[in-house]
Amino acid sequence: MKTGILCSLLGLIIIFRSMVYGQSTFEYISAKVDTDQLVADAVCSVNGEMIFVGTNQTGSVSEGHIFTLSKNGEQIRERFFSWQGKNTSLGNILPVGPNRFLVIGSVAKQEIHNLLVCLIDTTLNEVCSKEFSLGSYNYLYAKSFKDHDNNVIIHGTVSDTVTFYDIYPYLFKISPNLDSIRLKILDGNAWGIFDMVEKSNLTGYYLFLNPNYTVKYQGPAVLSIDAEFNVVKTQHLPRAVENYHTVKWISDSTYIFSGEYVDLNGNAKTTLGAVVADTFMAEKFFNHFGEDTVTNFPGLRRNLDFITPNQIYIGGTTNFGYTTVFMNHDSWFFLNKIDSTLTISWQKIYGKPGFYYTLWGVLAIDDGGCVMYGTRYHYPSDSFTRDIYILKVDKHGYTVSINDDRPTQDILVKLYPNPGSDEVFIQSDLTNAVFELMDNLGREVCRTNLMSKKTRIATENIASGLYLYKIIHNKIVVCSGKWIKY
């Protein structure tokens, strides 16, 4: 018997769509008055569709939110989920079979949050659901994957119900029928978000943890765990890429992991870090992404994704703020395309002045593009409610209009030098375009028409600092990014 409550609700949704180089790109915004919205995870479904899960909070009432977008960004379906009339949050979705997806979240039982697992189909109809108690612990968050036996491994953190300050990792295995198989709470504090993968030899798992996991490890660690969830071995993670981990196998002997990286030999600003390593924790490649003049924080749930290892997307938030989700300054989605040696193909930022954006995840799409999903907060309004913000870009990181009459061959824009000083050059096949340069408050400091394939722009009268640029063609932003004047 289905004990959840599924219902539909119409909200304000804005979608901008385009087709570029045979790829679809779009911008999707969902804004609801007096409702704080969060989108936490996404997966690809059938026919290029994407399913997103998250939570809507209106006053003291929270409900799970599930919706499907087409490959062109059109909303196809939407459901809200309230488990037995209780406050419900959703934060993870996992494909588990033909037309079946497992949605994971929490349900409030007085002051304690239990684990909630729901099986849905592609139409977002509930097949079955179960609530699991984590003993004397309070659920905080979950990620999941399917192992070689088709069981589901759910992992995340829980807090002590007495102090609520002590945070522990938990591992929970359930069957395809949602039957509990094994639950283990690991000893040791583990603040933050981490990730876990099955070993390539199928004998157990690797668990990536942040530096607070007990003093004895003194830094970010990977735990080798057997099939019974017993810790067999602990190793240090290379380069101290420490928190908000995302891990994926590149081959049977090599994987890539990403997360928060702080260069303590530099100015201690946070950037996105990534390491390619083997199963002996030997580093093969390392890189970090983002200028060290601002904080570039990794995506909060999934900051790395790829379909083929030579086209990897890694993303986060530029100008991230630590103190609240309602910061009163501008921030931007930050996306990098890299290969398996962590060499950068391109870097771009996305966003508009007056908004605080937070990236929660990236999703690689089979057409070569990438979907970024998260929230944006219009801080001048002081509404303390966030909108859902989803942006699909093509393989070059572009978003353009459906009315753009450019030819279908690839069009690249090059801005150099970056960083620069007294001049900057724009090189492009575009003509009759406009270059705009803005400071970190969104004020325009330079505007120039691009009338030839190479344009010189004098910048000697511009103060040193970080600037945002965009190139506009036919009233559409075809390229944007950061430029630094030293």
Q: What are phi and psi of 461, to 5 degrees?
A: -95, 5
Q: Could you tell me what percentage of the chain is helix, strand and coil, using 3-state DSSP and rounding each to the nearest 5?
A: 0, 60, 40
The pLDDT of residue 108 is above 50: yes
In angstroms, the CA 441 to CA 330 distance is 7
User: pLDDT tier at 23 (50, 70, 90 boundaries)?
Assistant: low
Q: What is the pLDDT of residue 377?
A: 96
What does the pLDDT average to over 300-324? 94
Output the DSSP codes for 444-456: EEEEEEE-SSEEE
The pLDDT of residue 4 is above 50: no
Q: What's the mean per-residue pLDDT of the chain?
A: 86
The pLDDT of residue 215 is above 50: no
What does the pLDDT average to over 50-74? 96
The closest of 131, 121, 134, 120 to 86, measured between CA atoms, is: 131
Q: What is the pLDDT of residue 210?
A: 74
In angstroms, the CA 177 to CA 149 distance is 13
Q: Tokens representing 259?
A: 């997360």
What does the pLDDT average to over 308-332? 93
Which range in 284-288, 417-421, 433-437 is most confidently predicted, on average pLDDT? 284-288
* Span 113-150, pLDDT tens digits: 899 999 999 999 999 999 999 887 888 889 999 999 99
The pLDDT of residue 217 is above 60: no
Q: What is the pLDDT of residue 21?
A: 43
Q: What is the pLDDT of residue 191?
A: 59
* Span 328-360, pLDDT tens digits: 998 999 999 999 999 988 888 888 888 999 999
* Span 453-473, pLDDT tens digits: 889 999 999 999 888 888 887
Residue 465, number of CB atoms within 10 A of its CB: 13
Percentage of residues in the chain with pLDDT exceeding 90?
56
Q: Where is pLDDT greater, at 220 or 360?
A: 360
What does the pLDDT average to over 63-72? 96
β-pairing verdict for 152-160 and 167-174? antiparallel
3-state secondary structure of 236: strand
The pLDDT of residue 416 is above 70: yes
The pLDDT of residue 400 is above 90: no
User: pLDDT tier at 433 (50, 70, 90 boundaries)?
Assistant: confident
CATH for the 4-393 domain, from 3.40.50.10860, 2.130.10.10, 1.10.10.10, 3.40.640.10: 2.130.10.10
User: pLDDT tier at 162 (50, 70, 90 boundaries)?
Assistant: low
Per domain, the residue ranges of the chain are 4-393, 413-485
User: pLDDT tier at 91 (50, 70, 90 boundaries)?
Assistant: very high
The pLDDT of residue 155 is above 90: yes
Lowest mean pLDDT among 34-48, 78-92, 420-434: 420-434
Which residues of 110-148 form beta strands (DSSP E)? Answer: 112-121, 126-132, 137-146
Q: Under a CB-based contact definition with an 8 Å cutoff, are residues 412 and 396 in contact?
A: yes
In angstroms, the CA 396 to CA 243 distance is 28
In angstroms, the CA 289 to CA 271 distance is 6
Prediction pTM value: 0.81
In angstroms, the CA 168 to CA 155 distance is 11
Q: What is the pLDDT of residue 192?
A: 59
Q: What is the pLDDT of residue 224?
A: 93
Superfamily of domain 413-485: Immunoglobulins (2.60.40.10)
